[in-house]
Amino acid sequence: MDKFREMQAFAAVVDAGSFVKAADGLGQSKAAVSRYVGDLESRLGVRLLHRTTRRLSLTEEGKVFHARCKDLLAVVDEAEAEVTARTGEAVGQLKVNVPVSFGLRHLSHLWAEFMALHPKVTLDVTLTDRVVDLLDEGYDLAVRIARLPSSSLVSRQLSSTRLILCASPTYVSRHGAPVDVSALASHAVIAYTLLSMGDHWQFEGPDGPANVTVVPRLRANSGETCVAAALQHQGIVLQPSFLIGTHLKSGALVELLPQFRSIELGIYAVYPTRKHVTPKVRLLIEFLVDAFRMQPWA
């Protein structure tokens, strides 16, 4: 048992990048995690980690042992999954990654409901717009908004969202509405930094594809920030319907060039490719599918 705990602690420290974060993730004290790693190094007779006041790094022996630890811990997880799958009950910790804006607007109120339905589950939810490596970072499931799911992961589509061009009525009254896609090049544009198209916005119009290179007045890696600037009449945004749907309904924003449609994105639950899917992951996916059966932002 101690060998397993030592390996688990060592892998957690490497993956988290610090003893403190690893201890938080394991639900143990920093002293306990440090002791497990120290005992492991003593038993093996080698140093696995270089420790400084600023960072941790693996020794050559540590790199080899970490890879083996990950393999062995994954086998243990699969063995547990195979056994617990027979009960059909959701049990244990679920580590979930979700995009920031979507997570805040459309998922935050759902976690308590899921836990009420499955009281033996604990949730560890991380909000980030970075595309995490589910296997390396130990996530059970992620919600991703993309054109296509990753081929290296299993996915289930939850819903979809469309990028919509819009601005406030005040902005339009002051600067006029663009008459076509090319006119966007001379308008104040508020750009989402992580948009896959970058500054080369793509549309499908009545006569086929129509593209334009915009010159943003403001860039932000937060869709919420972009929308807030648009609501303050600072420019035109191209944002997903899940983020601006309520503002379009209220009239705070108006759609521009509706005859030109931008890309549609799928909203997916993705999880690592494994032979056995645990009940907790399967039940969370089914819960999310049901929650988004009717688009709340439509």
The rounded Cα 100 to chain-centroid distance in angstroms is: 7
State the total domains in the chain: 3
CB neighbour class for 204 (10 Å; exposed up to 12, middle 13-18, buried from 19): middle
Residue 78 lies in a domain: yes
Q: What is the mean pLDDT of each run of 10 residues along the chain (298 residues)?
A: 83 88 84 90 90 83 89 74 63 92 95 95 92 84 83 84 97 96 96 92 94 96 96 97 96 97 93 76 94 85
Domain match, 251 and 126 both = no
Among 51, 84, 117, which residue terminates a domain?
A: 84
Structural domain for 269, as ranges: 92-158+265-291
Per-residue pLDDT, 1? 52
Which one-letter amino acid corresponds to residue 293? R
Strands (DSSP E) contained in the chain are: 49-51, 56-58, 92-98, 121-127, 141-146, 153-167, 189-192, 200-205, 208-213, 216-220, 236-240, 254-255, 264-272
Residue 296 lies in a domain: no
**CATH of residue 133:** 3.40.190.10
**CATH of residue 213:** 3.40.190.290
pTM of the model: 0.70
Domain match, 154 and 269 both = yes
CB neighbour class for 251 (10 Å; exposed up to 12, middle 13-18, buried from 19): exposed
CA atoms of 254 and 251, how far apart (whole Å): 6
